[in-house]
Amino acid sequence: MPEPVRYHMADGVAVLTISNPPVNALSHAVRARLQSLAERAAIDGNVRAIVIAAEGRTFPAGADISEFGKPPAAPWLPEVCARIEAIEKPVVAAIHGTALGGGFEVALAAHARIADAKAAVGLPEVKLGILPGAGGTQRTPRLCGAGPALDLMLSGEPIHARAAERLGLVDVIAKDDLLKEAIAFARKLADAEVPPLRSSDRAPQEADPAAWAAEIAKRREALKDTPLHAPPRIVDCVEAVQLLPFEAGLDFERAAFEDLVGTPQSAALRHAFFAERRAGKLPELKGVPPIEVDHVGIVGAGLMGSGIAVACLNAGHRVTLIEKNIETLEAGVERIIDIYDRQVARKKMSVEDRDARIGRLAGREDLDALAEADLVIEAVVEDMDIKQRVFASLGRITAPGTVLATNTSYLDIDEIARGSGRPEDVMGLHFFSPAQVMRLVEVIPGRETAANVLATGFDFAGTLGKIAVRAGVTDGFIGNRVLAAYRQAAELTLLDGAAPEEIDAAMRAFGFPLGPFQVSDLAGLDIAWARRKRLAATRDPAARYVSIPDRLCEMGRLGRKAGYGWYAYPKNGDRLGEVDPAVAAVVDEERIFQGVTPRKFSGGEIQRRCLVAMANEGAKLLAEGIARRPSDIDVVMMHGFAFPRWHGGPMMWADQRGLLQVQKDLRRLAEDDPAAWAPAPVFGDLIKNGRGFDSLNG
Ligand code: CAA
C-alpha cells in the first residue's frame, strides 16, 4: 500500500502531500500519517515551514464518511487539527479542487491558506445531518464573522476561492503554480519571523457582541420549525464562539457532533449520499462503452418533451424537437424560450447563454429530421398504439445504432420496442416532470436492449446532471409502482375513516412537502384513473377497491387544473387547497356502500400505514428483479417523489423501524385485507437472518 501522506523537503519547507484517491478523504490511515509527519516536521531543525497539500483531484473533501458509525479510531481529526495549529513554525494549506468538511477544517487549522483560483471550499456536514466536528464551527466564525460562517455551515454549499478570500477564509489566490507559490509563501512567513497566526487566537469578543447575538437570534427564528437536528446545533456552536473560550468551544462542538452522528437522521442522510452514488454502478456495464451523444431528437413538444429539451440544451446537446402539429410545435418552442427568458429575467442566466442554448434548438414537423440523431427520446401521449407507430417510423428513419428511448411512465417497453424492428436499440428513459428541474431518470432496459444502449442511457443521464436509476419493465417501473402502493394505502385509510386533509397533514408532518391527495390534485387525477382502467381486468378481485377517486374523476374533479379535485382551489395558486364538503359526501357514500364504520386515526398511524405499504411494494420490486437494490428504490422515492431525505427513503425507513416491526404492522393490517397488505416474503428471509434491506445494497 502506498503511503497516504508523503513527505518531502523543498527549499527548507516540509511538504506533506495527502494521497488517498479518489477524493483524499481523511480516513484513519491519512489522519495518523498526517499527524506523525506534522510532528516530524515540527521538530526537524531543517524545516522552517510546512505546506499541507494533496495530489489528484482535490484537497481532502472531508472526513471519510464510510467510517462514521464505526468505533472511532485515534487520532481523531480534531486532535490532528489541534496538533497542526499548535506547531510553532508557519503551516500553509495549499488548496485545490474542493476542500470540504474535515478537509477545509484542516486548512482552517493551518496558519494560512493559499488556494488555486478554481478551487472551492465548504462545510457540507449539514447535508449529512452533522456539523463540522474538527473545530470548523469555532474557527470559521473567528475568521469571517457569525453571519458568513452560518451561511456556509447551514447551506452546506461550497463557495469559490475568491469569495472565500473576500471573507478572510483564504489568504492568497495562487497565480499559476499552486504548490510552488505555497512553498514560497511558507518561506516568506518563516522569514518574517512573526508568530503563527492561529484561527483559534482570533478573539470574537472584538466583534460587536450585540450584532453577534442578533445574528444568532435571527437564525434561531428562521429554524424554529425545521425537522432537521443539525442546523440548530450549528447555531448553538456559533453562539458558543462568543460565550466560551476556544478550548471549551471545541468541547461544546464535539459533544454536539457526537450527538448528531448517532442520530437516525444522520444515518439516513449518509445513506442517501451513498445510495445516490451506488445507483449508477452496474457491474454488467463495466467496460461497455456508451455511444457518444451530441444530437438529440425529441418527439413530442408537450410539457414533458419541452422540459427534456431544456435539460438537453443545458447540457450542451443539439436538439431537434418534433411535433406533427405546427401549433403544438410552436407552443413547445415558446415554452422553452419562456423558461430561458425567465432565467435571464431572474439573472440566473446571461443573454449570451440563453441565445447559445436556443441556437442549438430546431423545431420540425417531420420525423425525417431525425435521420442523423444520435439519440431519440419519444415523449408523446401515453398510448401504446401511438407509441408503437412512432417507434415503427423511428426504426425506419434513424440510422442503425441510433439509440431510441421512450419516456413512457407505465407502458411495456418491450411492446413499444417491438414496433421499431430494432428492439436492441430501444430502452426507457423515464424523466420526471418538470424534466429540466427534477434530477431523477429511471433507465429501463427491455428484454433485448443491447448493453451499450443501456450504458448510453446512464452516460447520457449523467451528462444532463441527472441521477439515473436502473428499473425493470413493469407497469409504473419503480417510482410509479411505489407511488401506487402509497396511494392505495392512503385511499384505504380514507375509506376506513381518516379525512383527506388528515392524511395529507400526517404525511406533511413526516416531511413530504405535500400529502398524497394534494399531489394527486397537482398531477391531475386522470393519469391514475387511466392506469386503474388499464389494470381493471387484472386486478385481484379479492382486494378492496376504493372507487372514490373514480367518482371524483367522473364529476370532472381532475385536480388543480380543473379548480377541483380532492380539494377546491378557488384562489389561483392555492397550494394546499380548501377542504370541500362535496368530497366528504362522496367519501361518506362510499363508506356506506362498502359497509365501513369509520374510525379515528392518529397521525402516526396514518404515516405507518402509508410507509409500510411503500416498503412492502419496494420489497416486491426487489423480489421481481425490477429494482436492483433497496437503495435504488430510496433514490427514486427521494428524487422523484420528494420522500424526505432525512428519512433516507422507504427502505431505509423500514430498516430504521426494524423489519420485524414492519412485518408485524403489515400482518396486522393483512388480517382484514390480505390482498393489500400481506408482507412480501423478503421480510421473512431478512428477519430470519437478522439482516436489514441495507444488507442487499451491494
Ligand atoms: N468520504 C468517503 N467517501 C467519499 C467522500 C467522503 N467524504 N466524498 C466522496 N467520496 C467517494 C464517493 O462515495 C465516490 O465513491 P465511489 O467512486 O466509490 O462511488 C467517490 O468518492 C467520488 O465521489 P463523487 O462521485 O461524489 O465525485 P464528484 O467529483 O462528483 O464529487 C465531491 C466530489 C464534491 C467531493 C463529492 O463527493 C462530495 O460532496 N463529497 C462529500 C463531501 C462531504 O460531505 N464532506 C464532509 C464530510 S463530513 C466531515 O468532514 C465531518 C467532519 O467535520 C470531521
In order of start, what are the domains of the chain with their CATH numbers? 5-262 (3.90.226.10), 293-470 (3.40.50.720), 479-696 (1.10.1040.50)
| d(CA 235, ligand 1 centre) in Å | 24
Q: Nine-digit cell at 511?
A: 416531511
User: Could you tell me what percent of the chain has a pLDDT over 70?
Assistant: 99
Count CB atoms within 10 A of the CB of residue 277.
11
How far apart (Å, rounded) are the C-alpha atoms in residues 46 and 441? 57
| d(CA 374, ligand 1 centre) in Å | 33
Q: By CB neighbour count within 10 A (0-12 exposed, 13-18 middle, 19+ buried), where does 672 fall?
A: exposed
Which residue's alpha carbon is at the smallest distance from atom 33 of ligand 1?
23
Q: What is the DSSP string of 158-175?
A: -EEHHHHHHHTS-SEE-S
Query: CB of 513 within 8 A of CB of 642?
Result: yes
The secondary structure element, H or E, covering residue 526 is helix 525-535
Lowest mean pLDDT among 114-123, 334-343, 487-496, 524-533: 524-533
pLDDT in tens, 407-418: 998 899 999 999
How far apart (Å, rounded) are the C-alpha atoms in residues 138 and 243? 11
Nearest to 583 by CA among 532, 544, 548, 547: 548
Tell me what pLDDT residue 552 has. 97
Q: Which of ligand 1's atoms lies nearest the C-alpha of 273?
A: 13
Q: By CB neighbour count within 10 A (0-12 exposed, 13-18 middle, 19+ buried), where does 442 fall?
A: buried
Q: By CB neighbour count within 10 A (0-12 exposed, 13-18 middle, 19+ buried), where does 194 fall?
A: exposed
Query: CB of 634 within 8 A of CB of 514?
Result: no
Tell me what pLDDT residue 539 has. 84
Query: CB of 669 within 8 A of CB of 675?
Result: no
Half-sphere exposure (CA, 13 Å, Cβ side) for 476? 22
Relative to beta strand 426-431, strand 440-445 is antiparallel
Rg of the chain over CA atoms, in angstroms? 28
Tell me what pLDDT residue 396 has. 95
Which residue's alpha carbon is at the smallest distance from atom 12 of ligand 1?
277
Which residue do the cell numbers 428519512 mark? 647
How far apart (Å, rounded) are the C-alpha atoms in residues 640 and 440? 6
Count Cβ neighbours within 10 Å for each residue of 373-410 and write b for 16 or more, e otherwise.
Answer: bbbbbbbbebeeeebbebbebbbebbeeebbbbbbbbb
pLDDT in tens, 193-217: 888 999 998 877 667 889 999 999 9
Which residue do the cell numbers 474538527 mark? 134
Q: Which of ligand 1's atoms lies nearest the C-alpha of 133?
A: 53
- The average pLDDT across 447-474 equals 96
Tell me what pLDDT residue 534 has. 83
What's the N-to-C CA distance of the chain in angstroms? 25
How far apart (Å, rounded) are the C-alpha atoms in residues 522 and 569? 11
Tell me what pLDDT residue 543 has. 83
Q: Which of ligand 1's atoms lies nearest the C-alpha of 78?
A: 54
- The average pLDDT across 320-341 equals 95
Which residue's alpha carbon is at the smallest distance from atom 30 of ligand 1?
277
Q: By CB neighbour count within 10 A (0-12 exposed, 13-18 middle, 19+ buried), where does 287 fall?
A: exposed
What does the mean pLDDT of the chain come to? 95
Count CB atoms within 10 A of the CB of residue 451.
16
Q: What is the DSSP string of 555-622?
A: TT--BGGGTBSSSB--STT-SS-B--HHHHHHHHHHHHHHT-------HHHHHHHHHHHHHHHHHHHH
| d(CA 129, ligand 1 centre) in Å | 15
Count CB atoms within 10 A of the CB of residue 467.
20
How far apart (Å, rounded) are the C-alpha atoms in residues 337 and 333? 6
Tell me what pLDDT residue 205 has. 61
Which residue's alpha carbon is at the smallest distance from atom 20 of ligand 1?
22
How far apart (Å, rounded) are the C-alpha atoms in residues 695 and 620? 16
Q: Which of ligand 1's atoms lies nearest the C-alpha of 105?
A: 53
Q: Which of ligand 1's atoms lies nearest the C-alpha of 127?
A: 44
Q: What is the DSSP string of 104-125?
A: HHHHHHSSEEEE-TT-EEE-GG
Q: Which of ligand 1's atoms lies nearest the C-alpha of 124?
A: 44
| d(CA 103, ligand 1 centre) in Å | 11
Ligand 1 binding pocket mutation candidate from 65, 155, 257, 258 (most atoms within 8 A of CB): 65
Q: Could you list the active site residues?
A: 105, 125
| d(CA 139, ligand 1 centre) in Å | 22
pLDDT in tens, 20-66: 999 999 999 999 999 999 999 999 999 999 999 999 999 999 999 88
| d(CA 200, ligand 1 centre) in Å | 27
The secondary structure element, H or E, covering residue 139 is helix 136-144
Phi, psi (rounded to 5 degrees) for 193 = 55, 30
Lowest mean pLDDT among 137-141, 180-184, 284-288, 641-645: 284-288
How far apart (Å, rounded) are the C-alpha atoms in residues 587 and 496? 10
How far apart (Å, rounded) are the C-alpha atoms in residues 638 and 400? 37
Q: Which of ligand 1's atoms lies nearest the C-alpha of 102?
A: 50
pTM of this structure: 0.93
| d(CA 279, ligand 1 centre) in Å | 15
Q: Helix (H) and strand (E) counts for the chain?
A: 29, 17
- The average pLDDT across 476-495 equals 96
Q: Which of ligand 1's atoms lies nearest the C-alpha of 132?
A: 53
Which residue's alpha carbon is at the smallest distance from atom 47 of ligand 1?
62
Going by pLDDT thresholds of 50, 70 and 90, the confidence category of residue 650 is very high
| d(CA 151, ligand 1 centre) in Å | 21
Tell me what pLDDT residue 1 has. 66
Which residue's alpha carbon is at the smallest distance from atom 32 of ligand 1?
61
Which residue's alpha carbon is at the smallest distance from atom 40 of ligand 1?
61
| d(CA 61, ligand 1 centre) in Å | 6
Q: Which of ligand 1's atoms lies nearest the C-alpha of 58?
A: 35
| d(CA 291, ligand 1 centre) in Å | 28
How far apart (Å, rounded) are the C-alpha atoms in residues 567 and 190? 71
Q: CA of 61: how far to CAs of 206, 280, 387, in Å?
A: 32, 21, 46
Tell me what pLDDT residue 208 has. 85
Which residue's alpha carbon is at the smallest distance from atom 36 of ligand 1?
61
Q: Nine-digit cell at 671?
A: 388480517
How far apart (Å, rounded) are the C-alpha atoms in residues 444 and 415? 13
Q: By CB neighbour count within 10 A (0-12 exposed, 13-18 middle, 19+ buried), where does 625 fall?
A: exposed
Ligand 1 binding pocket mutation candidate from 18, 20, 23 (most atoms within 8 A of CB): 23
Which residues have any ligand 1 atom within 6 Å of their CB?
Answer: 22-23, 25, 61-66, 77, 98, 100-102, 105, 124-125, 128, 132-134, 136, 277
Q: What is the DSSP string of 227-290?
A: --SHHHHHHHHHHHHHHS-HHHHHHHHHHHHHHHHTSHHHHHHHHHHHHHHHHT--GGGTTPPP
pLDDT in tens, 521-560: 998 999 888 888 888 888 888 888 999 999 999 999 999 9
Nearest to 321 by CA among 251, 401, 394, 379: 379
- The average pLDDT across 241-268 equals 96
| d(CA 650, ligand 1 centre) in Å | 23
How far apart (Å, rounded) are the C-alpha atoms in residues 534 and 632? 27
